[in-house]
Amino acid sequence: MKEIISFSLKDTKKAAYQFAEIIKKNMRGGSIVRLKGELGAGKTVFARFLAEALGIDGNTVKSPTYTYLREYKGKGFNVYHFDFYRLEDADEPVLNEIIEIIEKGDNVVLIEWPEKIEHILPKKSTEIKLDVCGRNKRKITIRQDDC
């Protein structure tokens, strides 16, 4: 587990870029990242910086709140960005699509509000929790589950 205190967007960007290096080194079989935190904590901002660090144009990364999924083409892999904030009840077709994307491997899957589908997520994933500690202060906790 690693904790980082961010006082600015620059600090958050640095943390996302550092985490991207870990993803690049351990990309065997893909990477699942669970982004947790309250509304406004910076989950989408972190996702944008992370995608940018992985070679995606950061300006194209938008919150998938209303569509629940955005896909970005990378070099040799894709980044799938889910946001389940508005998801009331995941029906079978939605769950099957999520499982299919996760099982593809060799992709990066970013999931905001993963609590809503936790029961279908594999144990091997990374949790990034963003806690609001003040107006411009965030605590970013990175925990990797290797099981």
Listed by start position, the domains of the chain span 2-145
Question: What is the pLDDT confidence band of residue 27, given thresholds at 50, 70 and 90?
Answer: low
Is 50's pLDDT higher than 90?
A: yes
CATH architecture of 2-145: 3-Layer(aba) Sandwich (3.40)
Q: Residue-wise over 84-118: b if at least 16 C-beta within 10 A, else e? A: beeeeebeeebeeebeebbeeeebbbbbbbbebbe
Q: What is the pLDDT of residue 102?
A: 85
Name the residue with tokens 């904790």: 3
pTM for the full model? Answer: 0.88
| Continuous segment of H or E residues that includes residue 128 | strand 125-134
Q: Read off the pLDDT of residues 106-127 as tens digits, 9 standing for 90 and up.
A: 789 999 999 988 888 888 889 9
Q: What is the pLDDT of residue 92?
A: 74
| Continuous segment of H or E residues that includes residue 55 | none
Contact present, 45 and 137 (Cβ < 8 Å):
no
Report the distance separating Cα 44 and Cα 64, nearest Å: 9
Contact present, 81 and 69 (Cβ < 8 Å):
yes
Relative orientation angle of helices 9-25 and 43-53, to the nearest 10 degrees: 50
Report the distance separating Cα 64 and Cα 139, nearest Å: 23
